[in-house]
Amino acid sequence: MAKAKQPVSINDLEFDALISESKSYEATVPEYSVEEGFSVSDAIILSPEKLEMVLFVTDTPVTWRQHAAQGRTERVCKQLEELYFKGEPVTVVTSDATYTMMAIESMTISKSLETGYSREIPINLKHIRTTTAKTTTIPASYGRSGATGASAGTASTSSASSGGSSSGSGSSGSGSSGNSNRKGSILYGAASSMGLL
């Protein structure tokens, strides 16, 4: 096993040893038969990558001796807890890879007789997927109507009176009042502007 050139870090918070590391990849695969010729990759849904590590921190490190300092273990544990409670993405750097946009899913900080003032910290992280929103311009032809491409016109927003006679025949003035009601309606205005009336 090659010697690590740098300590493992989470958002520049350095640890003294990486006891174990494992990466998990999961996918949701279709349960039913897929039609021949169908792109199978469209049906397989990839889950976010997971990173599981067991980190070690101590006041008296052997590997990274420049880290030696009394109370360092408690300080590192407190800063790690602060990262967790912030709920923000973190960057993890190991000796062979860098993981960005990771979220701390779970971790355990415990004391034991075996570790003394040191801490062995199992931590699980999950990759956060991001997307980019794009804005596009709708061509002017989509705002036109019919084969001629003429403007579809605008609808009137003025309010029309609805208090006319309900009968089509009756008084001599009912014809003119019916026409004025129709001319004031939104549908009449739209049909007129398109040349339908």
**pLDDT digit string (tens) for 127-157?**
998 878 777 777 766 656 556 666 555 545 5
What DSSP string runs through 53-118? Answer: EEEEE-SS-SSSGGG--TTHHHHHHHHHHHHHHHT--EEEE-SS-EEEEEEEEEE--B--TTTTT-
For 10, list phi and psi in degrees, rounded to 5: -125, 110
Between CA 7 and CA 1 the distance in angstroms is 15
Q: Over the stretch 56-69, which tens digit does the pLDDT of each residue have?
A: 998 876 665 555 56
Domain with CATH 2.40.30 in the chain: 9-30+41-127
pLDDT on residue 164: 43
Between CA 6 and CA 98 the distance in angstroms is 12
For 65, list phi and psi in degrees, rounded to 5: -65, -25
Residues 32-59, buried b or exposed e (16+ Cβ, 10 A)? eeeeeeeeeeeeeeeebebbbbebbbbb
| Closest-CA residue to 115 (of 66, 53, 57) | 57
Number of neighbours of residue 103 by Cβ within 10 angstroms = 15
| Closest-CA residue to 185 (of 159, 153, 154, 152) | 159
Q: Which stretches of the chain drop beneath a pLDDT of 70?
A: 1-5, 34-35, 37-42, 61-70, 140-184, 197
pLDDT on residue 79: 95
9-30+41-127 CATH, one of 2.40.30, 1.10.3470, 2.40.128, 2.60.40: 2.40.30
